[in-house]
């Protein structure tokens, strides 16, 4: 995996959803996750995209290292996440995502993803970034701009522009 | 589009051009989204938070405008100019947006998060409802619940149910125009016929009750729609207190309103059940106002003998509903409680309703104490269909108030 020098930390993780399958649980937990992420991440200067795909979460987080690491600690111990695995961790000088967004990839009407046959675990960083950027751009159901007052925001790049 | 001042003249010119060929009446229909309740809620802090609130509202409104529509910021709201392609009336259009806006902002919990945690962040409050009500979320939720997981214990199941509609008689008019919906079905746990929130196994917690409430709301709206040809009056849909009290349940429940037609939203009231006697004032206010923002009327079920009505002083509930306190003649404390409730509810601008009314003596006592709505065996058993409004002469069979008073003493 390539390493960049920069002030930002970029991490992609994969986890299994442990949300109960009882009726209503998915909606309630997703509401909780979305509300918390939408409220918290932009304030911390953390951008990226959260994807839910057939029982799994994939999220790219990028922002100040301290904030990203704190979020990862929370997520790893969150009872809704299991089999937590970091797929990509790198320093970056520029953001791939200007917003934080959320996308579903198993919705029936979702367009086919580029390189969909490659499992997340075996995707290269470039494939990961491309796939996540595509989802953030085309499948997003929620997009939250990062706060202008948040730390270490570099909005020189447009969201997903490097790979979309 | 919602426009900034610098774009205002150009946007208005564009709008004028778009409606040039319309008749004068259509072309001048302008409606106002009133954010006055938010201003009132914030009080002295309104000048400090106004811009941020407007930014959130701006994004919210923008997402609901079609090409050709125009929304312009005003002192305490937005002027909405519907474009020529919009089929719903300007009043219906703006009322829908206004109600959805208030659903978010009038929740104390949400206001606090806006103030404390997102001081400089344009929170996408409106977008959350859109996301939770999206077809992608719907499909993912259905797939998640349906997915077989052999290594997991079987999740609790929400059984199929049918809605029954109990007639509610209005004392002032003598008509039955309101029916209270209640789900009934056979429990998967072999417990026989279950009603109301007992249908949701306790193992499923608040989320499962929320899901039941969502499905009941949808079913009630569907029943009203199917009976619309016969003018079915209005319906009350039960919703559990916890569904509205917990943010993670409230958001999906409110998001389900996006699937309802405007007419359906006006025809379905909320019947909030299972409010804890010791629930704090702030939570009761938040719960009732959340419901009030989307439902045209809010009925709150209470325990007649234990309710602390002072905690509802800012809740804006429309009706307080209680169950008849035993067979007639009512005890003196019960009669006093009904009278006290009616008096205090009136001071809050609310009415009272008594359920479980079995006979004419109970009816007379309730009417004497000022109760406005009556339901129970005396007004008719719950039925599979809600009838169109009809007159029901109950007072002819009820003994006079004085007779009831003698019985109670």
Tell me which residue of B272, B268, B271, B270 sits closest to B235, measured CA to CA.
B268
Q: Pairing mode, if any, of strands B162-170 and B373-375?
A: antiparallel
Spatial CB neighbours of B397, under 8 Å, sequence gap ≥ 6:
B360
User: b vs e for A119-156, b when ≥16 Cβ sit within 10 Å of the residue's Cβ?
Assistant: ebeebeeeebbbbbbbbbbebbbbbbbbbeebebbeee
pLDDT at B395 over 70: no
Q: Which residues of B touch A106 (CB under 8 A)?
A: 139-140, 143
What average pLDDT does the structure give for chain B? 82
Are the CB atoms for B217 and B210 separated by under 8 Å? Answer: no
What's A8-145's CATH class?
Answer: alpha beta
pLDDT at B133 over 60: yes
- Section B184-193 average pLDDT: 76
pLDDT at B175 over 70: yes
pLDDT in tens, B345-387: 999 999 999 999 999 999 999 999 999 999 999 999 999 988 8
What average pLDDT does the structure give for chain A? 81
Boundaries of every domain in chain A: 8-145
pLDDT in tens, B300-334: 999 999 998 888 988 899 999 999 998 888 999 99
pLDDT band (50, 70, 90) for residue A107:
low
In this predicted structure, what is the pLDDT of residue B129?
82
Tokens of A91: 């320093």
Q: Which residues of A touch B248 (CB under 8 A)?
A: 28-29, 31-32, 35
3-state secondary structure of B212: helix
pLDDT band (50, 70, 90) for residue A52:
very high
3-state secondary structure of B42: helix
pLDDT band (50, 70, 90) for residue B402:
very low
pLDDT in tens, B268-285: 999 999 999 988 888 898
pLDDT in tens, B45-78: 778 777 777 877 887 788 788 888 888 887 777 8
Cα separation, B210 vs B215, in Å, equals 9
pLDDT at B297 over 90: yes
Q: For chain A, what is the HEC assignment?
A: CCCCCCCEEEEEEEEEECCCCCCCHHHHHHHHHHHHHHHHHHHHCCEEEEEEECCEEEEEEEEEHHHHHHHHHHHHCCCCEEEEEEEEEEEECCCCCCEEEEEECCCCCCCCCCCCCCCHHHCCHHHHHHHHHHHHHHCEEEEEECCCCCCCCCCCCCCCCCCC
Q: Give chain B's domains with CATH numbers.
A: 2-130 (no CATH), 162-408 (3.20.20.450)
**What DSSP assignment string belongs to B71-103?**
EEEETTEEEEE--TT--S-HHHHHHHHHHHHHH
ipTM of this predicted structure: 0.83
Q: Which residue, among B126, B137, B155, would best test binding to A if mutated, counting the most A CBs under 10 Å from its CB?
A: B137
User: Which one is predicted more confidently, B235 or B105?
Assistant: B235
pLDDT band (50, 70, 90) for residue B118:
very low
DSSP 8-state code for residue B408: H
Angstroms from A29 CA to nearest CA on chain B: 7
Angstroms from B56 CA to nearest CA on chain A: 11
**What DSSP assignment string belongs to B269-304?**
EEEEE---TT--HHHHHHHHHHHHHHSS-EEEE--T
pLDDT in tens, A113-140: 555 667 888 889 998 999 899 898 888 8
Gyration radius (Cα) of chain A, Å? 15
């Amino acid at each position: 995996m390539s390493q960049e020098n920069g002030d930002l930390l970029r991490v992609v993780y994969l986890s299994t959803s442990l949300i109960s399958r009882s009726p209503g649980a998915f909606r309630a937990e997703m509401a909780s996750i979305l509300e918390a992420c939408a409220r918290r991440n932009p304030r911390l200067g953390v951008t990226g995209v959260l994807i839910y795909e057939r029982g799994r979460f994939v999220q790219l987080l990028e922002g100040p290292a301290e904030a990203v690491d704190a979020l990862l600690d929370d997520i790893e111990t969150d009872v809704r996440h299991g089999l937590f695995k970091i797929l990509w961790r790198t320093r970056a000088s520029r953001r791939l995502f200007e917003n934080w967004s959320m996308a579903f990839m198993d919705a029936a009407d979702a367009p086919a993803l580029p390189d969909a046959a490659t499992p997340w675990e075996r995707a290269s960083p470039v494939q990961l970034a491309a796939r996540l950027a595509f989802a953030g751009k085309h499948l997003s159901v929620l997009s939250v701009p990062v706060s202008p007052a948040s730390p270490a925001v570099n909005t020189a790049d447009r969201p997903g522009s490097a790979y979309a | 589009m919602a426009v900034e001042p610098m774009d205002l003249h150009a946007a208005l010119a564009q709008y004028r051009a778009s409606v040039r060929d319309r008749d004068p009446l259509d072309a001048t229909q302008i409606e106002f989204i009133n954010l006055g309740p938010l201003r009132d809620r914030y009080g002295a802090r309104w000048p400090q938070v106004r811009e941020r609130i407007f930014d959130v509202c701006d994004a919210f409104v923008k997402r609901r405008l079609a090409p050709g529509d125009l929304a312009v910021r005003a002192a305490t709201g937005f002027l909405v100019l519907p474009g020529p392609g919009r089929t719903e009336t300007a009043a219906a259009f703006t009322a829908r947006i206004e109600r959805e806006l208030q659903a978010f902002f009038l929740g104390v919990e949400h206001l606090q998060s806006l103030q404390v945690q997102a001081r400089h962040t344009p929170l996408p409050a409106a977008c959350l409802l859109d996301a939770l009500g999206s077809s992608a979320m719907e499909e993912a939720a259905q797939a998640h619940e349906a997915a077989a997981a052999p290594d997991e214990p079987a999740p609790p199941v929400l059984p199929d149910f049918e809605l029954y509609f109990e007639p509610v008689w209005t004392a002032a008019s003598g008509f039955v125009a309101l029916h209270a919906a209640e789900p009934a079905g056979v429990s998967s746990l072999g417990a026989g016929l279950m009603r109301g929130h007992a249908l949701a196994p306790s193992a499923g917690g608040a989320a499962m009750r929320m899901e039941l409430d969502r499905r009941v709301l949808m079913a009630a709206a569907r029943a009203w729609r199917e009976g619309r040809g016969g003018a079915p009056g209005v319906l009350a849909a039960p919703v559990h207190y916890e569904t509205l009290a917990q943010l993670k349940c409230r958001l999906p429940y409110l998001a389900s309103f996006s699937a309802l037609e405007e007419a359906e939203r006006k025809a379905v009231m909320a019947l909030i059940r299972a409010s804890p006697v010791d629930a704090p004032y702030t939570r009761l206010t938040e719960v009732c106002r959340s419901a009030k923002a989307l439902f045209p009327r809010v009925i709150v079920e209470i325990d007649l003998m234990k309710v602390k009505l002072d905690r509802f002083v800012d809740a804006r509930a429309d009706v307080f509903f209680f169950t008849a306190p035993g067979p007639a003649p009512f005890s003196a404390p019960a009669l006093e409680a009904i009278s006290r409730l009616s008096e205090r509810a009136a001071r809050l601008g609310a009415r009272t309703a008594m359920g479980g009314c079995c006979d004419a003596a109970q009816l007379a006592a309730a009417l004497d104490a000022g109760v406005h709505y009556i339901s129970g065996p005396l007004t008719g058993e719950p039925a599979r269909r809600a009838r169109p409004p009809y007159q029901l002469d109950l007072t002819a069979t009820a003994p006079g108030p004085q007779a009831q008073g003698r019985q109670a003493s």
